[in-house]
Amino acid sequence: MIIDGSKIAEDILKGLRKQLPPTKEMAAVLVGDDDASFSFLRQKQRTAESLGVKFRLYQFEDSITQLALIKKLEDMSLDEKIGGIIVQLPLPVKFDRVAVLNSIVIRKDVDVLNGETTKVLAPAAGALVHILREFKFDLVDKHAVVVGSGQLIGRPVINLLMKKTRRLTVLNRGGYDPQIVRTADLVVSGTGVPRLIRGEHLKQGAMVIDFGYGRDEEDQLTGDVDSKSALKVAGFFTPTPGGTGPIVVAMLFSNFYNLSI
């Protein structure tokens, strides 16, 4: 079964529309002019408009120094008209990502990239919770494999699954092992390597959640999972695009509502 991420996201947004939107603005920070980053931000802006949320883009040239960028984020953290701050990743390579993200105060960190908080889940972890709940997928006696342990996807998903599943295996793309993946009831991937995971790598009936996003050698948009072969094996599968992406954006705004209270 193909998982319709847009439908799950719309259910989350319907819940938010029953509430008054926060009076504070969602601030998005972009360094440079990467086309993919612009595309992601446009999606977030459209979602904000559908909710009646104030959304403002703060764009800086990639010539800005790290100290200057950190000072901008510290000032935004102190600005009471701003309720949430997004730093669109990836940053140009010259920046220390951890130092930049750590300059955002936790109460405005809607991406949950600057330390853990008990108030909200990171958007990827929240998206996974909604998908599992939608399909009544019980993790208690399952083996889960997470492919990729990056800050945006892998780390928060791993932290979530450590508390919920019987057995958890983490593979990074340099140590990807199809034989291990084939034993998993749940596969969650976020490496950005196009079609890394193929149908023959999967257990029959597995749930496959693909957070990966990239372009193949023919410049076709694809996820980490080869959809054509995976659909012959997987019990549930998120496509790219239209799978996890809309849910992650919806969870970002859910966090904004919760943190802006």
Whole-angstrom distance, CA of residue 123 vs CA of residue 52: 20
**Residue located via tokens 């919770």:** 129
Long-range CB pairs of 41-48 (<8 Å, 24+ gap) are: 41/88, 43/245, 43/246, 43/249, 44/86, 44/249, 44/252, 47/13, 47/249, 47/250, 47/253, 48/253
Q: Are 233 and 164 within one domain?
A: yes
Quote the number of domains for the chain. Answer: 2
Q: Is 180 in the same domain as 213?
A: yes
My answer on whether 106 and 129 are in the same domain is: no
**Final residue before a domain boundary, out of 84, 113, 142:** 113
Is 194:214 a contact under the CB 8 Å cutoff?
yes
Residue ranges making up the domain that contains 93: 11-113
Task: List the structure tokens of 97.
Answer: 């990502």
| Domain shared by 106 and 128, yes or no | no
Check which CATH number belongs to the domain holding 171 and give it. 3.40.50.720
Could you list the pLDDT tens digit for every one of the 261 residues in the chain?
899 999 999 999 999 999 999 999 999 999 999 888 998 999 999 999 999 999 999 999 999 999 999 999 999 999 999 999 999 999 999 999 999 999 999 999 999 988 666 689 999 999 999 999 999 999 999 999 999 999 899 999 999 999 899 899 999 978 899 999 999 999 999 999 999 999 999 999 999 999 998 887 777 888 999 999 999 999 999 999 899 999 999 999 999 999 987
In a domain, 251, yes or no: no
Is residue 211 situated within a structural domain? yes
Q: What is the CATH classification number for the domain harbouring 19?
A: 3.40.50.10860
195 located within any domain: yes
Whether residues 127 and 238 fall in one domain: yes
| 45 within 8 A of 57, measured Cβ to Cβ | yes
Q: What is the DSSP letter of 91?
A: P
Is residue 249 assigned to a domain?
no
**Residue finishing a domain among 92, 113, 134:** 113
Give the global pTM.
Answer: 0.94
Do 83 and 138 sit in the same domain of this protein?
no
Contact status, residue 171 vs residue 195, Cβ threshold 8 Å: no
* Residue 164 sits in the same domain as residue 63: no
Same domain membership, residue 147 and residue 55 = no
Domain end marker among 59, 78, 113: 113
What is the C-alpha to C-alpha distance for residues 201 and 179, in angstroms, rounded to an integer?
7
**CA distances (Å), 102 to each of 16, 37, 106, in order?**
28, 21, 9
Are 193 and 145 in a shared domain? yes
Q: Which among 137, 31, 80, 103 is positioned nearest to 260, based on CA atoms? A: 80
Residue position matching structure tokens 């932290």: 159
